[in-house]
Amino acid sequence: MIFDDSKKESSEVFMKRNINVEGIGTINVIRNEFTGQWNFELDGRQFIKETRTTFILRNDGSDDIVIRINGNIFSGVKLDINNNQFVLSKPIAWYYYILVFIPLIFALAIGNTNPFAKSGIYFVGGAIGGGIGGFFTALALYASAMELKWYLKLLLVLFICLVAIGILFGIGMAIAK
C-alpha cells in the first residue's frame, strides 16, 4: 500500500488530495464530506461515474484509467487505481468505539436507573435521554473518523461526551425541580 500524504488539503466541507500515480500522472481527488460525493480529475479531465464506487476515464487509443473506492469511515478508505492501492483514510481505532458510546450508555443506564437520586443528582433518561445520547454518539463517531492528530481527536471525542453528559444532567436537574 502506498500512502501519499504530501499534498493533502483539508477544509470543513471538502477533502482534497493529489495522488501521484506512476505512469499516469497526478490525480486530483475531491470528496464532499457531507454528501459523500467523489470527484476525480486528471489533467483537467473529469472521471465518469460508472457505479457508486467505480469511476473511469476513457482514453482514446490507450488503456482506460479505472478508480475503485473500497471501504468506509469505519474500515478506512482505499482507492484502487489501475491495481495500485492508495490509502486515503485509516480505520477508526478500537478504543474510539468504546468512547463514542459513552453518551448513549450513560443516558440509557444512568438516566433510567438513576443511582445518584439519593444524592439529589438527576440525569434524564428515557426517550429524551436516548435521543440526546444517540445524537452525541453519532457526533462523536463522526469526530473519531476525522483526520486529526490522535490527541486532538481524543480530546474532541471526550469533549463531546462531556457535553452530552452535561446536557443530560442539566435536563435531569430541571425536570427534578
pLDDT tens digit sequence for 18-46: 888 888 888 988 888 778 788 899 988 89
Q: Cell 468505539, residue?
A: 97
User: In the 8-state DSSP scheme, what is residue 53?
Assistant: S
Ranges in the chain, pLDDT < 50: 1-12
Measured from the Cβ of residue 54, the count of other Cβ atoms closer than 10 Å reads: 14
Contact yes or no for 168/111 (Cβ under 8 A): yes
Q: Looking at residue 140, what is its pLDDT? A: 93
Q: Looking at residue 14, what is its pLDDT? A: 64
Q: Looking at residue 12, what is its pLDDT? A: 45
Number of C-alpha atoms within 13 angstroms, CB side, residue 57? Answer: 18
Q: Looking at residue 13, what is its pLDDT? A: 56
Q: Looking at residue 76, what is its pLDDT? A: 86
Contact yes or no for 123/155 (Cβ under 8 A): no
Q: Looking at residue 164, what is its pLDDT? A: 94
What domains can you pick out in the chain, each with its CATH number? 8-89 (2.40.128), 94-176 (no CATH)
